[in-house]
Amino acid sequence: MSEKKGEFNRVLNTGDILVVAFGAMIGWGWVVSSGQWIQSGGIVGTILGFLIGGLMIFFVGLCYAELTSSMPKCGGEHVFSYKAMGPMGSFICTWAIVLSYIGVVCYEAVSFPTILQYLFPKMMIGYLYTINGFDIYLSWLLIAIFMSVLILILNIIGTKKAAGFQKVLTCIIAGVGILLVAGSTFSGDISNIKGQMFNGKNDFEIIENIVKVAMMTPFFFFGFDVIPQAAEEINVPLRKLGKLMLLSIVLAVSFYVLVVLAVGYVMNSEAMQNSMNTTGLVTADAMAKAFNSSNMAKVLIIGGLCGIVTSWNSFMIGGSRAIYSMAKSSMIPHRLGVVNKKFKTPVNALILIGLLSIASPFFGRSMLVWIVDAGNFGCCLAYCIVSISFVILRKKLPKIDRPYKVKRYKLVGAIAVIMSGGMALMYIVPETNCTLTWQEWIIVGGWSLLGIVMGVWSKKKYKSHFAEHIE
């Protein structure tokens, strides 16, 4: 089945692209994890770790930048991997990235009402049941469902509207971040940084802890890859598109580095430990300390809530386009490739993800953590396949137009493959901080089995049209 021309409107400009990619990478982690980062590597050690991790993901971004500019089709990874490896590689790559996107969307649906509790502690009304130690309340469920429906509607009625919503929230996040940095500049003390620059008894332990942080940081940079998913809706020069993808990574790295520096400048090790033992929101407590006002902690939490929604919205966009591309290639049911005639959005794919986000809060927090971890493995696997595709296509299709062309592609490709492959192995090899639990392996196995069933069904249903590439 060939792709219909003009199914999407090119409505996304430079600003839209940046906020979608940046918003995907800035979730809730910067609010709750800063203390853990600093205690792991020290302030300077954590900053070095983020810079190293950012550099690693930058190499993957270079592969994406060239491939997206040369093959600006909806689906991103789906197209790249098909051209390089054929139907099987494309199916595995796209199916893996879809799991990642769905995992994030479902997680954010649970995170939003949970974090809202910090602002409104008395909001929990109407106890329903307990699942795996987590109490489910009616009020909590209704908030989660409301936000899921709201984001679904925004994405259905137009990509431009969803991006506009993203811009507003991203401005709030940036504003809160600027406030934190500014407040720490006036209220902080350099002695706080000097007292916790690195963590380790000797040089070996210091380097080891920096590496641990570096290996963790790429997981906070997932999301720049939503840009290629919506490539057919982007109205910017192709060369510029590649640069914007890389810029989004640089902005995300800068944001995280400044947050770590601001928190460390305001809070000494004792204050940080006390925060982790009480609220667990070290960044919010640092904001309160910087301005000597508990209300400012709430302001930062609002910024964190905006981060949840921007990540949620971005992965909704990316996930629906990935599903659409598979449907158009007859790898999954055609119904999931339907585009709304009025709004020019993949409505059925959006509804599917929206329904999953509505259902997810009913299962509590534990299951959602498992889904995200399983999804992260899928994302690393997809990154590795894309990086390999980048190298293959340089040899397989040497003469295609590459508006954004990476220099020294062999070196870039090798680093990207090793980095992404190493990240994927961290989830497989026992006794690493990221090793999947048996529950997470069940999710990965179940998703893989579903993919096999989908593939077999589609092969039987669509016959020669199965895995037909979108030209």
**pLDDT value at position 430?**
87
- Residues spanned by the domain of 170: 14-465
Q: Tell me whether residue 177 is in a domain.
A: yes
Provide the 3-class DSSP secondary structure of residue 82. Answer: helix
**Number of helical H runs and strand E runs in the chain:** 18, 2
Residue 400: enclosing H or E segment and its boundaries? none
268, part of any domain: yes
pLDDT at 1: 38
Q: Read off the pTM.
A: 0.92
Determine what percent of the chain falls in helix, strand and coil, rounding each to the nearest 5: 75, 0, 20
User: Could you tell me which of 145, 124, 133, 101 has the C-alpha nearest to residue 366?
Assistant: 133
Exposure b/e, 310-324, CB count within 10 A at least 16 = b: bbbbbbbbbbbbbbb
Asked whether residue 471 is domain-assigned, the answer is no
Question: Does 112 reside within a domain?
Answer: yes
The length of the chain is: 471
d(CA 46, CA 361): 33
Q: Do the domain assignments include residue 4? A: no
Query: What is the chain's alpha carbon radius of gyration, rounded to the nearest angstrom?
Result: 22
Asked whether residue 3 is assigned to any structural domain, the reply reads: no
Does 8 fall in a domain? no
CATH number where 157 lies: 1.20.1740.10
CA–CA distance, 296 with 306 (Å, rounded to integer)? 15
Measured between its terminal Cα atoms, the distance across the chain in Å is 10
Say which DSSP state 333 is in: -
Question: Into how many domains does the chain fold?
Answer: 1
In a domain, 5, yes or no: no
Determine the pLDDT at residue 178. 95
pLDDT value at position 6?
Answer: 55
Digit-by-digit pLDDT tens for the chain (471 residues) are: 344 455 888 889 999 999 999 999 998 889 888 988 999 999 999 999 999 999 989 999 999 999 999 999 888 899 999 999 999 999 999 999 999 999 999 989 998 998 898 889 899 999 999 998 889 999 999 999 999 999 999 999 988 889 999 999 999 999 999 999 999 999 999 999 998 999 988 999 999 899 888 878 887 898 899 999 988 899 999 889 999 999 999 999 999 999 999 999 999 999 999 999 988 889 999 999 999 999 999 999 999 999 999 999 999 999 999 999 999 999 999 999 999 999 999 999 999 999 999 999 999 887 777 888 899 899 999 999 999 999 999 999 999 999 999 999 999 999 999 999 988 998 898 877 778 999 999 999 999 999 999 999 999 999 989 988 665
Picking from 377, 350, 356, 352, the residue whose alpha carbon sits closest to that of residue 448 is 377
The count of C-alpha atoms lying within 13 angstroms of the C-alpha of 364, restricted to the half-sphere facing its C-beta, is 11
